[in-house]
Structure 1
């Protein structure tokens, strides 16, 4: 009996630290295969790349905790980045009224964030009002947002956005890249939200048992709309960082970013069934995905094989998640 108890305790400890173990083994393998991996320049490059996925993945975590999914984050990222770039560079012209509206840097950023929030509200409203499955509703938004991005940009990049805007994605503050600061702020706010606020408790309650949450008086629809709104806003933050880093709003930006976000969430230990997971676990998952992407590039692995590897990692993470759920 004591032996079984000790084995179960050991298994739980292993499950708890499985992401950290996976990250250590991954770093060890890549460092042995490439002498460029363990360098300060590469480390900061990885952190810069991870910052975008962290922002998106944090929003995805909140959605998944309610037993939902958001497949539109990549397209929302592209649209919000394009809107921000377009307003900053070209403003809004109304020839019929002989009117031109210019935008400051702050005004363009706020507009981009507002677009992301509105698209998130629409996702949440569609899901709660019409009972459309989250997979279908956000898949539709994926297509809608991508189409709107093409219409806004005309299919061409919007470039040369100025040094002030470029500093958001390429600048440094106190020896740390600005995107890392931004993603760090997002993580801190999200951790406080999930652990210290009523909204956080309600999110876990809905994911754990939606019927029980309704019976206890929680406004489930309101919470779900709030969660998708946050996810859309954080996708917009990611879009602004990407656009700033490239100094260009690309019409095809954010393609497959939703896969990296879902992978980070699942690898970080958040259950796709909802109600179980953490923001810090997702951050660790995003680091693993970032290191994996970086390692594959350093090893000159074909982009096609990179997709195969990432798909296999997502599948493996889901299988492990299901196995852990059964063992509990």
Structure 2
């Protein structure tokens, strides 16, 4: 219990409680079950993608193309449903496979060519955005089939179906990180890539897997998003990647690698959701959310760098103290 209250997650949970209390005092509607369920439903997409981003950031990488990839998959499944009909299973399969392939493209360039993830994903983001604009001309897809719209309205014991996909993504990511050799390799690479390779972890395979896994969850999120919105807007995910990254780092993941948790990421998503909902209920302009997200990312990076320098300094002092003077 003592470790729980010393953890980053406990601090984030405290922030959520304080924010919720302040917002409720301003507007009691916040804590109603209807508002909380809507809040959870409307943030399932960012939550699913953030859970895919988590392993990438744990390795010290990043993917700024997730917004473009998610938008691309919504267009793919939207066009598929409009032109070919299909069924729910095919839509999920097409979405997840399309996303995984887009993620694998990034993973191949990062792992095989050893290119910086930020450069690779910036490039792929530009390519995808250009192709989307060429293909759609910026036009929306609005004639989504009724059977898919009906799926998006399903509730299980009063809970929107979309929330269960977030739970599924959380469980899957937790199992991968906690109970698989791949998960141990992800943390090992984030902690010390050279030592991880010497320990027998195949760095290229791990990087290819985690970018493909991120793409897989991007595909799942795209289907969930379409089920919520019941239409496809090619520009719906502009700036989306910043919210995803902010949620992960706010949840305690170290941007330098080696640290992060599923629970923390969910809490990070919750903080952003509470802030956004609070601004809406308080009639505060939503551009303040973008300002807050930017501050969160900068603060998290600065904090991680400071902590890393202190850690390195402690290690250096221990090494110096452990040396035996010559002549003794």
Q: TM-score, length-normalised on structure 1?
A: 0.89
- Does 1:234 find its partner at 2:217? yes
Which has the larger displacement, 67-76 or 253-262? Answer: 253-262
- Does 1:143 find its partner at 2:126? yes
2:259 to 276, 282, 287: 276
Give CA-to-partner distance per residue, 1:201-229, whole Å, 9 cap, x none.
11111111111111122110110010000
Give CA-to-partner distance per residue, 1:255-288, whole Å, 9 cap, x none.
1111111111111111011111111110111111
Q: How far is the alpha carbon of 1:171 from its aligned partner?
A: 2.2
Structure-2 separation of matches of 1:318 and 1:33 = 32
Equivalent residue, structure 2, for 1:48:
41
Q: How far is the alpha carbon of 1:326 from its aligned partner?
A: 5.2
Q: Which runs of 4+ in 1 moved over 6 A?
A: 9-12
> What does residue range 172-211 of structure 1 map to in structure 2 within 5 Å?
172-211=155-194
Give CA-to-partner distance per residue, 1:141-195, whole Å, 9 cap, x none.
1112222222332321111212331244432122211110011011011111111
> What does residue range 229-268 of structure 1 map to in structure 2 within 5 Å?
229-268=212-251
Which has the larger displacement, 28-37 or 45-54? Answer: 28-37
Q: TM-score, length-normalised on structure 2?
A: 0.89
- Does 1:90 find its partner at 2:90? no
Q: 1:303 to 1:212 in 2, by over 3 A?
A: same
Give CA-to-partner distance per residue, 1:108-166, whole Å, 9 cap, x none.
33222211111100001011222210001011111122222223323211112123312
Q: How far is the alpha carbon of 1:309 from its aligned partner?
A: 2.1
Which has the larger displacement, 273-282 or 318-327? Answer: 318-327
Structure-1 separation of matches of 2:3 and 2:227 = 46
Q: 1:323 to 1:21 in 2, by over 3 A?
A: farther
On the 8 A contact 2:63/2:121 being kept in 1, the answer is: yes
On the 8 A contact 1:161/1:247 being kept in 2, the answer is: yes
Q: How far is the alpha carbon of 1:15 from its aligned partner?
A: 4.2
SS state at 1:142 partner: helix
Equivalent residue, structure 2, for 1:317:
300
CA RMSD, Structure 1 to Structure 2 (Å): 2.0
Give CA-to-partner distance per residue, 1:91-116, whole Å, 9 cap, x none.
3xxxxxxxxxx633322332222111
Q: 1:209 to 1:166 in 2, by over 3 A?
A: same
